[in-house]
Amino acid sequence: MKRSFLFLICALLLFGSTKHQDKFVQNDYADTETYMKARQRLIEAELALRFDAGTRLTREEEEANRRLMALKQKEFERTRSHFPPAHNFLESRTKDMINQSPILEIMKRMPKGGILHVHGLALGDFRWLVSQAAYQPNCYIYLGKEKRPVQGTLRISPKSPGEGWQPVTDLRQGSGNLAEFDEKLYRSITLGEEDLSEPDIWEEFSNCFRRSFGLFNYDHVYEGFCRKMLKDVAEENVQYVEFRGVLDGIDEILKEIQRNHPEFNVKYVHCGKRSNDHEQVAKSLNWLLEQLKANPHIIKGFDLVEEEDRTHTNLYFINELLNARGEAEKRNITLPLYLHSGESNWVENENLYDAILLDAKRIGHGLALVKHPLLMQIVKERNIVIEICPISNQVLGYIPDLRNHPAVTYINSGLPIVLSPDDPGIMRYTFSYDFYVAFMAWGLDLSCLKQLAVNSLLYSAMDPEEKNKALETWKKKWAEFAAWLAAYPLN
């Protein structure tokens, strides 16, 4: 029975392939002109499958696109010896090449819509964190011999946390070079070129979190960091953010930001840790159900985070997830899932199956999806959105050359995707860099960029009324951007 079914599927695929061959491939071409017409029909047929096939550009946008693509061609020529998306973003030369590009400046100015995949405080400026938190008189660093906490862990505490902890102020004063000392602190809580030789980049990435998050114990530091983080992202032309994890106590800060950026807003997707046990995830889901009832306009759903290949799978928590879904139904509320799934190079990673069966609204990363043709088809049919984080995927070792990112296949196959930065503060960049590498490496044009921005609002967790309002605001900003780009000098 199973073999018969597989044969049927193969036959249907072969039949589809034959139909396309009959439509485009001819046994004989009368002349070169006939061949070129057939070739153009084939190209147009493939473009009709692309995720932005329904996007239409105005005349002004077409002129803006013409200029943008001319600049892109110049960028190809400028970066011929070192094409940034083909090299690790942590390399100094790669980042320097991008920083010199007019394309990056255009991406910074472009209205990006929303960020739908970012991990809480990892969106912020960690250099600011060093300049503020590490100068508090009660800031300590762990330099002891024990493996936990991690060497270099920073913590603000009313008194010394214990053996092995030393005041940062004393160490800085005795360093002989204050700027160099602060730079070492910054490097210890972020990823950079010096980490390329690390045998396990995921472990070092996790250690950055472990070393830095004790700095947020002090309210003044936490509030200042959040204020700068939200201000920076709003000024980079992002109007909406969905944080993985809940940021407590930022309501007043958000109101401050909204005075200059009235359209700006944030919401949250609560997270359970894959390294947790059943009881801990069950408690996390129970807390979420209470919040979905009490704060449905702010708290929007659930995710499981941490490295997929070395922690528990979606299936491991299936009882907790199904029980929570059943409890949500009893309480007459919905439990949206936005699950990290397929952030892996292994075809054996099965999290995507469960994300689909559990009716996840969006899938985080989905790198392994390209290895599952049937799942890709289901994702497309069910309009499940893939949250793509290109620079993060490269830095963490999944896609060394971003020209080979599976997002290219998703885009050209018509799957809905959004672009997101994941953990930019720890990886020393801001969201516009993700747009740069995607634009340069994936064959995108202005139509694709426009669709990415629209998708980020359309597929957000906002209520329908909020989405419509956000889209209207974005359209006005986009029209201003297109007018500016249409006059952009090419010399």
| Domain definitions of the chain by residue range | 62-124+219-486, 137-217
Which pLDDT belongs to residue 429?
Answer: 98
Which pLDDT belongs to residue 24?
Answer: 86
What confidence tens digit (pLDDT) does each residue in 419-466 have?
A: 999 999 999 999 999 999 999 999 999 999 999 999 999 999 999 999
Query: Assign residue 460 a region: left if phi > 0, alpha if psi is -120 to 50, beta otherwise?
Result: beta
Which pLDDT belongs to residue 26?
Answer: 87
CATH 3.20.20.140 fits 62-124+219-486, yes or no: yes
End-to-end Cα spacing for the chain: 66
Please return the burial class of 467, using the count of CB atoms within 10 Å of its CB with bins 0-12, 13-18 and 19+: middle
DSSP string, 207-254: HHHHHHTBGGGSHHHHHHHHHHHHHHHHHTTEEEEEEES--TT-HHHH
Q: How many residues does the chain have?
A: 491
**3-state class (DSSP) for residue 56:** coil
Segment (H or E) for 381: helix 373-381
Give the pTM.
0.94
What distance in Å separates the CA atoms of residue 435 and residue 104, rounded to the nearest whole number?
8
Angle between the N-to-C axes of helices 59-78 and 464-486, in degrees from 0 to 180, rounded to the nearest 10: 70
The residues annotated as belonging to the active site are 343, 365
Which pLDDT belongs to residue 17?
Answer: 45
What confidence tens digit (pLDDT) does each residue in 167-202 have?
A: 999 999 999 999 999 999 999 999 999 999 999 999
459, 300 Cβ separation under 8 angstroms: no
Segment (H or E) for 265: strand 265-273
446, 59 Cβ separation under 8 angstroms: no
225, 132 Cβ separation under 8 angstroms: yes
Which pLDDT belongs to residue 292?
Answer: 97
Which amino acid would we find at residue 276? N
Please return the burial class of 392, using the count of CB atoms within 10 Å of its CB with bins 0-12, 13-18 and 19+: buried
Query: Assign residue 336 a region: left if phi > 0, alpha if psi is -120 to 50, beta otherwise?
Result: beta
113, 265 Cβ separation under 8 angstroms: no
What distance in Å separates the CA atoms of residue 458 and residue 260, rounded to the nearest whole number?
24
Query: Which candidate, 429, 480, 482, 474, places its Cα nearest to that of 455?
Result: 474
Which pLDDT belongs to residue 1?
Answer: 42
DSSP state of 422: B
- Tally Cβ neighbours within 10 Å of residue 311: 14
Which segments of the chain have a pLDDT < 50?
A: 1-21
226, 241 Cβ separation under 8 angstroms: no
398, 429 Cβ separation under 8 angstroms: no
Strand order in the sheet with 265-273: 113-118, 238-244, 265-273, 299-305
